[in-house]
């Protein structure tokens, strides 16, 4: 599928959604970029670290921390 994109003055461009789906790109990700026969080729890299990004988003702490009185909970005897 042929798709036109705009390249910004900073050499950035937007990958259209239908192209991302065909290439199975997910976010966040890293990719290899190369030139073959004067064509730019983008290949996604699978990263174990980036695959876990956002895993804890929305999780709540077990108990609230009283920031105003946090010094009461610090054990200064070890210093």
Enumerate domains of the chain plus CATH numbers.
Answer: 12-49 (2.10.260)
Contact status, residue 39 vs residue 33, Cβ threshold 8 Å: no
Task: Note the pTM of the prediction, 2 decimals.
Answer: 0.48
- Beta pairing partners, 40: 35
Please, what sign has the CA dihedral across residues 26, 31, 36, 40? positive
Please give the pLDDT value at position 34. 94
Query: What's the 3-state SS for 26-37?
Result: CCCCEEEEEEEC
Contact status, residue 24 vs residue 15, Cβ threshold 8 Å: no
**Which tens digit of pLDDT belongs to each residue from 6-58?**
999 999 999 899 988 888 887 777 888 899 999 888 888 876 665 666 667 77
């Amino acid at each position: 599928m042929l798709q036109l994109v705009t390249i910004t003055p900073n050499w950035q461009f937007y990958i259209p959604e239908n192209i991302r789906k065909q290439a199975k790109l997910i976010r966040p990700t890293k990719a290899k970029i190369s030139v073959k026969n004067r064509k730019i080729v983008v290949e996604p890299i699978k990263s174990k670290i980036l695959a876990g990004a956002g895993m804890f988003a929305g999780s709540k702490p077990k108990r609230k921390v009283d920031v105003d009185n946090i010094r009461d909970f610090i054990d200064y005897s070890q210093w």
